[in-house]
Amino acid sequence: MRIAIINRNFSRTGGGAESYAVAIAEQLAARHEVHVFSQESNQPVPCITYHRVSSTGQKPRWLNQLVFALSSWWQTRKGFDAVHSH
């Protein structure tokens, strides 16, 4: 299966949702092709393909969130069997 994981910050030290996304990616990567789409990542899991999603910077936050949502949607709308997002 080809799986996309979308999380703005993909890191073990990022917080609860971030740590959860890393844990899911680790388990899925053992059996599937996993791609991570994020604006920030220290690439904590080997054997995963990482894709950097463009950012407008930190302010205004709502604009950055909109850009992230549209960009990650556009990149994952075709070619994946499952898309997981937090």
* All residues at 6 or more sequence positions from 54 whose CB lies less than 8 Å from its CB, including other chains: 39, 67, 68, 71
- What pLDDT, on a 0 to 100 scale, did the predictor assign at position 55? 87
pLDDT score of 86 more than 80: no
Q: Look at residue 11 and give its three-state secondary structure.
A: coil
- What pLDDT, on a 0 to 100 scale, did the predictor assign at position 57? 79
- Residue-range domains of the chain with CATH: 2-85 (3.40.50.2000)
* All residues at 6 or more sequence positions from 9 whose CB lies less than 8 Å from its CB, including other chains: 15, 18, 38, 39, 40, 41
- What pLDDT, on a 0 to 100 scale, did the predictor assign at position 12? 86
With cut-offs at 50, 70 and 90, classify the pLDDT of residue 81.
very high
With cut-offs at 50, 70 and 90, classify the pLDDT of residue 75.
very high
Give the helix/strand (H/E) hosting 59. none
Q: pLDDT (tens digit, 9 = 90+) per residue, 6-64?
A: 999 998 887 788 889 999 999 999 999 999 999 999 988 999 999 999 888 778 889 99
Angle at the Cα of 25 (from 63 to 43), degrees rounded to 5? 65
For residue 46, what are its two tokens?
A: 């080997």
Q: How far is CA 28 from CA 12, 21, 25, 36, in A?
A: 16, 11, 5, 12
pTM of the model: 0.89
